[in-house]
Amino acid sequence: MFYLTILIILLATKLAGDLCVRLGQPAVVGKLLIGVIIGPAMLGWVDQSHIIEELSEIGVLLLMFMAGLETDMKELKNSFRSSMAVAVGGIILPWAGGYFTGILIGMETSHAIFLGLLLSATSVSISVQSLKDLNLLKSRESTTLLGAAIIDDILVVVLLAFVMSLFGGGDVNLTLVLGKKLIFFIIVALFIWKVVKWIMKWLAPLRVSESVISAGLIVCFFLAYIAEQFGVAGIIGAFAAGLAISQTDYKQEVEHKLEPIAYAIFVPIFFVSIGFSVSFDGLRDQIGLLVIFTIVAVLTKFLGSGIGARLTGFSTRSSMGIGSGMVSRGEVALIIATIGLQGGLLKQEYFTMLVIVIILTTLITPFLLKKTLGSPASSSQSEQG
């Protein structure tokens, strides 16, 4: 059955991606939609399983690792001010929108505060693929987006710890949370500065097959593991690993050999598995709220991050593109929603609906990016993966 599942996923994602490219849309749109179609919500050909979840996790790590490989370190440093403005704007407005929407529908104050925090999350893994489809992954907008996503992740996790300590009934030490984040980024700085170069020089010459790509993957999974141990999303660790290797002489070889591995199996499984979380059970009575929450989620992040970009010198078009790229809540928001459900800050009656909202923001993001940053030249690019 497992082999049949992989067969269906790979065939369906390739055909759906190709169809979307022929229709002038990013290939990733088809891969996301086909997950809903073949998943439990519709046809039921494929179910979410533990092994699919694990393969999906590898897929998103490899996707962000490659994004790090293609990111210009100097440009990332230069875009820090813009990234900070985009991240802060993309937290303040969604939080306010989520909070006031929650209050208007009768949520308790603590639940409305948590809802705002949930809508403040950002996951740019889908945006990375969309930008790659548009040949914009090395652009200034892309670099600002990636920097903003890292800052957003840190700020939202810290705010989550604060909210859980106040309302979640848990004993959360904010000093410990902040300290762990600081230690993680010190480790990352050391890896980028010295450690990764030494690791690659040590492992690359080993007289075994594909020693260079293996060394790169060892660094990727190690930093992803370290990130999660210190309370940071694993994708941030994977991105940092790619960034570190991009500073070495092995960048081209790692990138060239990793891309076929990632896009042949792992990345498609990640995209399609997002749709497996969709469930339409019990949504008939909540369709109005679903529409409202989706509009609030999309507009507040689009405007908040876009304004942050505009205030730091980006053109209106680029600001709209950056705002679009920050719209996807992805796996980060899904994790926060689960924490809220377990901590009593999100009622079960809203949980399923918000999962749908999170997935809708993920589906909408490629369309927005194509509309704001796409061009005739980029839209004609063939599908990758």
In 3D, which of 338, 336, 360, 378 has the Cα closest to residue 21?
378
> What is the C-alpha to C-alpha distance for residues 245 and 215, in angstroms, rounded to an integer?
10
pLDDT in tens, 68-88: 888 777 888 888 899 999 999
In the numeric block, which tokens belong to residue 378? 């980029």
What stretches in the chain show pLDDT beneath 70?
Answer: 168-174, 279, 281-283, 375-385
Q: Is residue 224 in some structural domain?
A: yes
Tokens 């949520």 map to which residue?
107
> What is the C-alpha to C-alpha distance for residues 183 and 288, in angstroms, rounded to an integer?
44
Q: What pLDDT is stored for residue 86 in this prediction?
A: 95
Q: Is residue 44 in some structural domain?
A: no
CA dihedral 299, 301, 305, 306 (to 10 degrees): -20
Q: Is residue 313 in some structural domain?
A: yes
Q: Is residue 102 in some structural domain?
A: yes
Q: What pLDDT is stored for residue 301 in this prediction?
A: 95
In the numeric block, which tokens belong to residue 52? 């699919």
In the numeric block, which tokens belong to residue 249? 């002489």
Q: What is the CATH number of the domain that holds 189?
A: 1.20.1530.20
Q: What pLDDT is stored for residue 375 in this prediction?
A: 58
Q: Is residue 33 in some structural domain?
A: no
Q: Is residue 375 in some structural domain?
A: yes
In 3D, which of 252, 172, 162 has the Cα closest to residue 216?
252
Q: Is residue 360 in some structural domain?
A: yes
> What is the C-alpha to C-alpha distance for residues 322 and 373, in angstroms, rounded to an integer?
9
How many domains in the chain?
1
Range of the domain at 307: 51-379
Contact 160, 336 (CB under 8 A): yes
**Cα radius of gyration rounded to whole Å, the chain:** 20
Tokens 């030490």 map to which residue?
173
Contact 48, 5 (CB under 8 A): no
Q: Is residue 126 in some structural domain?
A: yes
